[in-house]
Amino acid sequence: MGKWKIRDDKDQYMRGLKSWLSSTKGEAPEEMSAFFAARLEGYEEHMKLWKKAYRKTAEMIPKGCRSLLDLGCGTGLELDEILKRRRDISATGIDLCKSMLDRLKEKHPQVDVICADYFLAPFGENRFDAAVSVESLHHFDPVPKRELFRKIRGALKDGGNYIECDYIACCEEEEELLKNEYDARMAGIAPDTYIHFDRPLTLEHEMRLMNDAGFSSVRAVDSIQGATFIVCAK
């Protein structure tokens, strides 16, 4: 784990982050699903900066995978790459935002979609050969994430893999800074409301949650343009 440097420009990045937090202080947070629905038309163009990460995700899908769960799938940018390479895969995508799922279905009618909160929705037991999540879980608190990892593990078949590609905090200062700002922006908002605000964990803390969830192995395997890949085996 220690060999992965999340950011080469940590000092410059932290200065920019603090400046952005200062300039946006007092802005009303947006509810998660509404945030993405409002940006649907420009979303895929904006997310092209993660193109290499989507391709890497597709390359990491195990050869024997026939059933795949995609958490926070959005319009299916990682599925575009996965299904381009693996037409034999039966994919299920889950996301809060119905309009994004509608866009996914326009591209991939064969994909089963679930419009739901993946922290609450049942996944079943021993159902999927693999699961993926790309640039989604960095919005959420650690405690429900640990329980979600347990649920993902249960949904995987024996020997299955969970592949996470996500924004990871470059240092404990970033994690703590964003946690405190998240808490401040949630003041007066119902605790079961999801807002669009990043609060990533450090790699150590993210992997600790995965280990606590009972995966047999948890490995950081790559970092591309700020997107860090972690593979968890059941």
Tokens found for residue 24: 């946006």
User: Which pLDDT score is estimated for 3?
Assistant: 63
Percent residues over pLDDT 90 in the chain:
87
Domains: count for the chain: 1
Residue 138 is assigned to a structural domain of this protein = yes
CATH number, domain with residue 104: 3.40.50.150
Q: What are the angstrom distances between the C-alpha of 51 and each of 45, 80, 164?
A: 10, 11, 15
Is residue 56 situated within a structural domain? no
pLDDT (mean) for 168-197: 94
Please list, in sequence order, all residues whose beta carbon lies within 8 angstroms of the beta carbon of residue 224, skipping any fewer than 6 positions away: 52, 53, 56
- Residue 20 in any domain: the answer is no
pLDDT tens-place string over residues 137-154? 999 999 999 999 999 999
Predicted TM-score (pTM) of the model is 0.94
Long-range contacts, 13-20 (Cβ 8 Å, 24+): 13/170, 14/170, 14/171, 14/173, 14/174, 17/174, 17/177, 18/177
Per the domain annotation, does 229 fall within a domain?
yes
Q: Tell me the per-residue pLDDT of 33-88, one tens digit each, with 9 for 90 and over.
A: 999 999 899 988 988 888 999 999 999 999 999 999 999 999 999 999 999 999 99
> What pLDDT, on the 0 to 100 scale, is given for residue 1?
47
Residue 123 in any domain: the answer is: yes
Let me know if residue 35 belongs to a domain: no
Residue 79: which of 67, 93, 97, 100 has the closest Cα?
Answer: 93
pLDDT per position as a tens digit, 87-120: 999 999 999 999 999 999 999 999 999 999 999 9
Question: CB within 8 A of 89, min separation 6: which ones?
Answer: 61, 65, 66, 67, 68, 82, 83
Helix intervals (H) in 27-97? 32-38, 40-46, 51-60, 77-85
Question: What does the pLDDT read at residue 6?
Answer: 85
- DSSP annotation of 26 reads T
Q: Residue 12: how many CA atoms within 13 Å on its side-chain side?
A: 3
Closest CA to 105 of 114, 183, 96: 114
Nearest residue to 76 (alpha-carbon basis) of 111, 123, 42, 52: 111
Q: Is 49 part of any domain?
A: no
Q: List the structure tokens of 156.
A: 């995987």
Range of the domain at 192: 64-233
Residue 50, both tokens: 């993660």
Q: Is residue 220 part of a domain?
A: yes
